Structure 1
Amino acid sequence: MRVTGEVVVVTGAASGIGRALARRFAAEGAAGVVVADVDEAGAAAVAREIGDRALAVRADVTVEAEVRALADVAEREFGPIGLFCSNAGIITGHGLDASDADWSRALAVNTLAHVYAARAVVPRMVERGGGYLLNTCSAAGLVSCPGDAPYAVSKAAAISFAEWLAIHYRAKGIRVSVLCPQGVRTPMMERGLAEDHLTARGVAKAAPLLDPDDVAAQVVDALAEERFLILPHPEVAEYVRRKYDDTDRWIAGMSRFVASLGER
């Protein structure tokens, strides 16, 4: 996947990784970049930064009709979508105390939004002979995370769904990648640190926080290689290896790490 000349849609693009991806894809020569977010003003600001080849669209990724409408607008304005980046995500900050509403919201944004995106674009991509899906999932989906149960579970489900897509649609010309960073210096992470969330403290302790623009640069390289697993923090690959080499030892180690963070 070379972004040059492609029509790209990025959800959750008003800030953080989504904003960085939209800006980088435009810099790489995308034919059109659709900046989608529930934050309409934020999306419009990013589109203005990019210029004439960008379009801001308000879209709630938890509403399937809005995701379908987003794809329709993108193709009407710019042409066939070559790359759909399902990037929007949320944290809850809760463990066993997470409410049913917390669970529902996390699963809707972090998992079902990817399902809605695939339903909206995969059939039309298959009909045209190919296309690409990039789903932002988080290292938490591979190796869990301190504190936030709905986040860890919903991100793991998102990765599982992406694997399923890649397996079933590869022969039909569809490529899939999952972006799985640890800590990135986004507004969501900054809020978590400011509010002293266990998850944010754990992520910040585990590895250096990356700049979103650096993550976007790595994404461009990974898409060119059509890698399924994009790991801006390369050490995550070793964590995954340890997890499956000796799962009991890995769980014990993660338990010690979480205990070291305290419960404040």
Structure 2
Amino acid sequence: MDIRGKVAVVTGGASGIGAALAQKFAAEGAQGIVVADLNLERAQGVAAAIGPQAVAIACDVSREADIQALAAAARQRFGRIDIFMSNAGILGRPGGLELDDALWQKMWEVHGMAHIWAARAVLPEMLERGEGYFVVTASAAGLLNIVESAPYGVTKHAAVAAAEWLRIAYGRRGIRVSCLCPQSVQTDMTAGGAGSAGINGVLSAEQVAQDVVDTMREERFLVLPHPVVAQYALAKATDYDRWLGGMQKLYASYAGKLKG
């Protein structure tokens, strides 16, 4: 898809990958950009820096009503939605089964249902036009899992599955769908934490945004800013039990560091 002249909505747009995407869409000539985020003040700052073609809207993606209101506001302002970047995410905290249900539920809502709710809100108009682009931000954890946080790994798998299903169901009806699966990226969520420390190949949000736009231009499904993720996924598919054994070793090392 050529982004020039299109209207794009970006959730989680106040910082990190979302802000970089909003700015990149502007640089690519988007006609309208909606910067959506819980933090309205920061979203307004991103929109102001882009210029008059951008507007900030407060949105809590863990609430379907907020997403429906976001889509309605975008249509009222710009007349249509061509691109929906379902990007908002939360890191939560490390742990597994012992983590409380409230955290698990929030992760399900933000990393799973938010994409379904967004699709409900924007796909009907896209299908009517026979064109539209829906992008889901998942994670390399959605393809490979992560030892530090069970809720994060599990719900990011759900995000990948949601994107796959949308592509399967609507790909022949003019709806393009891509899924972003990076490893570590320099954002507020990873600053100073396990998401960036000690990992080679930490990318800037701007680098990731460029990869998203390049993938959208070619209309490919997976956005892999870290190409090594494809190699890991292939190794996983080729010998699942061996891959699980390697992940068990990683988990044992991680757990040992926590005890130490």
Does TM-score exceed 0.5, indicating one fold?
yes
Q: In structure 1, what is the equivalent of residue 134 of structure 2?
A: 133
Matches within 5 A, 1:46-61: 46-61=46-61
Structure 1 equivalent of residue 204 of structure 2: 211
Q: Any conservation in 2 of the 1:11–1:88 contact (CA below 8 Å)?
A: yes
Normalised to the residue count of structure 1, the TM-score between the two structures is: 0.94
Look up the equivalent residue of 1:235 and give its one-letter code.
V
* Cα shift at 1:172: 1.2
Alignment of 1:152-167 (within 5 A): 152-167=153-168
Q: Tell me the residue number matched to 2:118.
A: 117
Matched with 1:30 is: 30
Deviations 1:21-52 (A, max 9, x none): 00110111100000000111111110011011
Query: SS of the residue aligned with 1:81?
Result: coil
Q: CA RMSD in A?
A: 1.2
* Distance in 2 between residues matched to 1:258 and 1:28, nearest whole Å: 42
Write out per-residue CA displacement over residues 151-176 of structure 1, whole angstroms, 9 at most, x where no aligned residue: 00000011111111100111211110
Q: How does 1:213-228 map to 2 (within 5 A)?
A: 213-228=206-221
Residues in 2 aligned to 1:204 and 1:232: alpha-carbon distance in whole angstroms: 18
Q: Secondary structure at the match of 1:163?
A: helix
Aligned length: 256
- Deviation larger for 245-254 or 89-98: 89-98
Cα shift readout 1:169-197 (whole Å, capped 9, x = no counterpart): 11211110000000001000015x1xxxx
SS in 1 for 2:229: helix
**Counterparts of residues 237-252 of structure 1 (less than 5 Å):** 237-252=230-245
Structure 2 regions of 5+ residues with no counterpart?
none
CA contact (8 A) 1:166 1:174 kept: yes
Matches within 5 A, 1:1-264: 1-93=1-93, 94-191=95-192, 193=193, 200=194, 204-261=197-254, 262-264=256-258
Tell whether the 8 Å contact from 1:182 to 1:207 is kept in structure 2 after alignment.
no
SS of 2:210's partner is helix
Distance 2:137 2:224 in 1: 11
Report if the CA contact (8 A) 1:34-1:57 is conserved.
yes
CA distance 1:245–1:204, shift in 2 (3 Å): farther
How far apart, CA to CA, are the structure 1 residues paired with 2:118 and 2:181?
A: 18
1:114 is displaced (CA, Å) by 0.3
Quick one: percent identity of the two aligned structures?
A: 51
Counterpart residue identity of residue 104, structure 2: W
Q: What CA distance in whole angstroms lies between the structure 2 residues aligned with 1:41 and 1:100?
A: 30
Decide whether the 8 Å contact of 1:90 with 1:106 is kept in 2: yes
Letter in 2 for 1:3: I
Per the normalisation by structure 2, the TM-score is 0.95
Residue segments in structure 1 that go unaligned for 5+ positions in a row? 194-199
